[in-house]
Amino acid sequence: MKLSLHSKHLALPLMMLALSLSCKHEHKSGLESEVSGSAVHLPSNLGVGFDSETQGMKSQCVTGSTEWRGENEASIVYGQDLSFNDIMKSYGGGAKVGATVYGFEVGGAAEFASKNATTEFSSSISLVNKVSLKKLLLSNPKLTEDGKKELVEDRARDTVRETCGNEFFSAIVYGAQIFVVAKFDFASAQDKIEFKGNASVSLLGVGEIGGNISHLSDKVKKTGRVTISARQVGGNPEELSKILGSGLLISCSLVDYEKTCLPALQAIVKYASDDFRVGLKSTPDPQIQYEQRLEAEAALKPGEKLPPKNPGDAKGWAEVNFITSKYSDVKVGGARLVPDVDVPLVNAEIERTRSQVYDEFQVQLMDSERAANLLSVSTLSDIKQLRISEIYKATEANKKALAIVGENCMIKPSKCVESYANYKSTQMKVYDERQLSLGICLVKSDMDNSSWVLKGDANKALGTVRFNPDGKLEGYASDTEKTWKVDGCILRFYNEADVASTIFGKIEESGNAMSGQASDNSIRSLTISK
């Protein structure tokens, strides 16, 4: 759910920070792709080539003059329970979320989304303040020497796409953004339900959150946590660290919310909604900064280079978005840099595999984050601690492997299907995601072909029961109980009339034992047979 306060033509405008590489297919004004200003790989100049299907930088085949245009827009968006893709779309650029090179950058927007997205165990509230001021455009395009080499009799060679790509960077948007999230994590899905029933919260009403938390049970308050984090591009990020510290994160239990987290949350909301915008008033115009950099580059001696720009640490008006145009829409030097036969690099199978890799990468990011959160809970038993540690190691390995697979899928489409198949057969670490809840739900596959020691009253052994996949009980000498089923996390034995005659409770945390009661009120227990 989102509440947006949006206005255009403000004296100090605010706009969306485009963080994700995205391909559009609307063909408006030659616009094809957007590349985040916070991505690792960025074009060195306007006119640099780009391949929309591999999302790789190519040679600079186009140059031209530049012109500045106002890009005045402002928005403040208050969100609640944003999904992974909601955050990727807002923090990550808007036009398209999914399988992109930027989306697979470990530590990038996807990592931020995994830490702050709502899950069955968590709820979140957010504030996004976005600013844009100006756009730098490439005008009067003409061919560079590399571009001219790709023409024969004013027609593009077959190698033009390999050299120049199928698009070129034609605009840069200058702006700033701050994204604030307060995420509430719970021990179980049931605890989250209790929280949602007692707390209708938003960063528009920070002062009401503490009162809502006070109505929660002691158990939920002791095991629940809130984490406040923020990311800022442009403006003065040092102001943010004064509130949240160098790690840009504060966390506390719900018991300590009023004392530890509320003051920080109030301060960060005030800064993000008001002071962030005010601070931009004294920021130098990006056109002046751009011209100063050009002068500095012109004054360099042979072999010298200016220090590289750090997109993640941008101050003032930042390069928040790089926009491309398609060669097929623009004549450059009287010609179109498009081959006679432009064969797509991505077919339906590759596109489907890219989506599968991205979806699985998202799962691993979020399961890893959930495991890390659980490991910070001191009340876990030794058994649970061990199992969650194993899941954390597995998800960390999986997400790193999938990041490589995902990047290869984008850069080398022809290798995508093979690369993903190799991951699944040789690299993927398997784990039981149900362990990420503090309440384990039994399923049929847990019991199939397993053997358990059955005991009755006074711990009397009744035999060893084997659970056949066809639903029959084997090795259990009973005149009435012949079959079994698992339904709603509960194991039941059934008599010949197909009536549940013994009902077991939920499986214990160890996963090795269950207790139950027969229809004659006698006590039963099951312990897994070694």
Cβ partners under 8 Å of residue 364, min gap 6: 395, 398, 399, 402
Q: Exposed e or buried b for every residue in 232-263, given b needs 16+ CB within 10 A?
A: bbbbbbeebeebbeeebebbbebbebeebbbe
Distances (CA, A) of 244 to 210, 224, 459: 19, 20, 56
When pLDDT is cut at 50, 70 and 90, the band that residue 496 belongs to is confident
212 compared with 30, residue with greater pLDDT: 212
Q: Residue 435: helix, strand or coil by DSSP?
A: helix
- Print the SS3 string covering 212-259: HHHCCCHHHHHHCEEEEEEEEECECHHHHHHHHCCCCEEEEEHHHHHH
| Structural domain boundaries in the chain | 2-282, 348-436, 444-528
Check whether 6 has a pLDDT greater than 50. Answer: no
Side-chain half-sphere exposure of 438, counting CA atoms within 13 A: 21
**What amino acid occupies position 385?**
Q
Distance of alpha carbon 24 from the chain centroid? 20
Token pair of 257, please?
């919310």
362: phi then psi, degrees, rounded to nearest 5: -60, -45
When pLDDT is cut at 50, 70 and 90, the band that residue 24 belongs to is very low
When pLDDT is cut at 50, 70 and 90, the band that residue 38 belongs to is low
Check whether 27 has a pLDDT greater than 60. Answer: no
Token pair of 320, please?
């928040």
When pLDDT is cut at 50, 70 and 90, the band that residue 439 belongs to is low
Whether the full predicted model's pTM is greater than 0.75, yes or no, is no
Mean pLDDT of the chain: 82
When pLDDT is cut at 50, 70 and 90, the band that residue 311 belongs to is low
Check whether 25 has a pLDDT greater than 60. Answer: no
Gap between the Cα atoms of 186 and 370, Å rounded: 10
Q: Which CATH number is 444-528 given? A: 2.40.128.10
Check whether 202 has a pLDDT greater than 80. Answer: no
When pLDDT is cut at 50, 70 and 90, the band that residue 217 belongs to is confident
Q: Which of 32-36, 170-174, 215-219, 417-421 has the lowest mean pLDDT?
A: 32-36
Q: Which of 234-238, 312-316, 392-396 has the lowest mean pLDDT?
A: 312-316
When pLDDT is cut at 50, 70 and 90, the band that residue 101 belongs to is low
